[in-house]
């Protein structure tokens, strides 16, 4: 029988399926359900810069509301035990205490001081690892792409010195030279890379002529850009690789592993099919490995990476020439057999 265990960020996982940050992981009940379904690890829902700032502003308002009261009325001050992001940290600790699989905290910030402060606070909850979401819309036209990337590299360098747990970087695909940026973050000390983050985009209701917020799930196949970069970076960096965004089936997972992924993150498929779907996907993955004669994930990991294929046209622009010369796809199909 095939063994599904893998190692990611130095953590032993019983299989390659990590549940990405979502509402399922935000409660003990949800986390236990994911664990029972077979999830190897859980990324607890993200702590956002905006959430921290908003809650701190509310905290300040609640204090100011009582600023004019006299000392004899001090007992009327509001109970602020869970003010700011403290409630997030408390709930994260509770989930960590009640499940047996690794828990990864997630942080999405804008300012250096917030990254440094809350990364340390998240570590203190006892989590096994940390995921840093590097997404910031570059609205300052005077700031160069190199400056934006420099800021992120410095954050990684600082956190490498301050944290004792491993941390991954979850990237958006919108950096100018992704391969170079990943190399720089890798050299700065990142333990792993999650490729790629799914971003919420603005949408307008044309009838009300107002912006609306929709909960848009990924679609099967959205993982392909991540597949390309996983295939390009396998064995070319020290850090490990995790495929994300649109991972639905055991075949999606197999493709990612063949390209060089150490693990994958699954979210939308769980929303659409419930946590029990994880059990089905793991069974299908195990059956495929048995049929192919693989006894472990490592036997086929990276088998179709750029490092193994040797600058194959699969990951490069030259594939366009293939399609132009062979519009029916005959050459491409033959290559895939």
Predicted confidence (pLDDT) per residue in 19-66, tens digit: 999 999 899 999 999 999 999 999 999 998 877 776 554 444 444 444
What is the band of 279 on the pLDDT scale with cuts at 50, 70, 90?
A: very high
103-108 vs 129-134, strand pairing mode? parallel
Predicted confidence (pLDDT) per residue in 70-97, tens digit: 444 444 444 444 445 888 999 999 999 9
pLDDT for 325 equals 63
pLDDT for 217 equals 87
Contact 49, 134 (CB under 8 A): no
Tokens (6 digits) for 154: 């410095």
pLDDT for 200 equals 75
17-19 vs 263-266, strand pairing mode? parallel
* pLDDT, mean of residues 277-285: 98
CB atoms closer than 10 angstroms to residue 153: 16
Predicted confidence (pLDDT) per residue in 184-218, tens digit: 999 999 999 999 998 777 889 999 999 887 777 88
Tokens (6 digits) for 138: 């570059």
pLDDT for 63 equals 41
Predicted confidence (pLDDT) per residue in 237-278, tens digit: 999 999 999 999 999 999 999 999 999 999 999 999 999 999
pLDDT for 80 equals 41
240-243 vs 192-195, strand pairing mode? parallel
pLDDT for 227 equals 96
Where do runs of H (alpha helix) occur along the chain?
Answer: 28-37, 49-65, 86-98, 112-123, 145-162, 178-188, 224-233, 250-259, 268-273, 277-292, 306-309, 318-325, 330-336
Show the domains of the chain with their CATH numbers. Answer: 6-304 (3.20.20.70), 310-337 (no CATH)
**Residue 310 carries which DSSP code?**
T
pTM: 0.86
Instruction: Identify the residue with better confidence: 95 or 219.
Output: 95
How many whole angstroms separate alpha carbon 122 and alpha carbon 106? 8
Instruction: Identify the residue with better confidence: 5 or 67.
Output: 5
What is the band of 158 on the pLDDT scale with cuts at 50, 70, 90?
A: very high
pLDDT for 60 equals 44
């Amino acid at each position: 029988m095939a063994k599904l265990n893998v190692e990611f960020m130095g953590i032993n996982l019983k299989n390659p399926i990590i549940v990405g940050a979502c509402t399922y992981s935000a409660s003990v009940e949800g986390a236990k359900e994911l664990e029972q379904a077979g999830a190897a690890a859980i990324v607890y829902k993200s702590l956002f810069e905006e959430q921290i700032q908003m809650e701190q502003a509310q905290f300040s308002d609640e204090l100011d509301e009582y600023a004019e009261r006299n000392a004899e009325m001090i007992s009327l001050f509001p109970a602020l035990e869970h003010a700011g992001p403290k409630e997030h940290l408390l709930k994260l600790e509770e989930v960590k205490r009640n499940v047996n699989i690794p828990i990864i905290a997630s942080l999405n910030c804008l300012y250096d001081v917030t990254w440094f402060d809350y990364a340390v606070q998240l570590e203190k909850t006892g989590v096994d690892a940390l995921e840093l979401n590097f997404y910031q819309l570059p609205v300052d036209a005077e700031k160069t792409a190199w400056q934006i990337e420099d800021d992120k590299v410095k954050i990684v360098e600082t956190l490498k010195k301050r944290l004792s747990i491993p941390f991954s970087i979850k990237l958006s695909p919108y950096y100018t030279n992704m391969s170079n940026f990943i190399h720089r973050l890798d050299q700065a000390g990142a333990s792993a890379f999650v490729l790629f983050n799914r971003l919420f985009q603005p949408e307008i209701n044309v009838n009300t002529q107002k912006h609306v917020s929709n909960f848009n799930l990924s679609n099967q196949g959205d993982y392909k850009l991540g597949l390309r970069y996983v295939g390009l970076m396998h064995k070319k960096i020290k850090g490990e690789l995790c495929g994300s965004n649109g991972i639905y089936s055991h075949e999606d997972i197999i493709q990612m592993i063949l390209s060089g992924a150490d693990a994958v993150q699954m979210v939308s498929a769980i929303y659409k099919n419930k946590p029990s779907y994880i059990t089905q996907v793991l069974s299908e993955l195990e059956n495929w490995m048995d049929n192919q004669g693989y006894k472990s994930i490592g036997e086929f990991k990276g088998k179709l990476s750029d490092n193994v294929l040797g600058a194959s046209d699969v990951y490069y622009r030259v594939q366009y020439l293939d399609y132009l010369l062979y519009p029916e796809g005959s050459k491409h199909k033959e290559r895939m057999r």
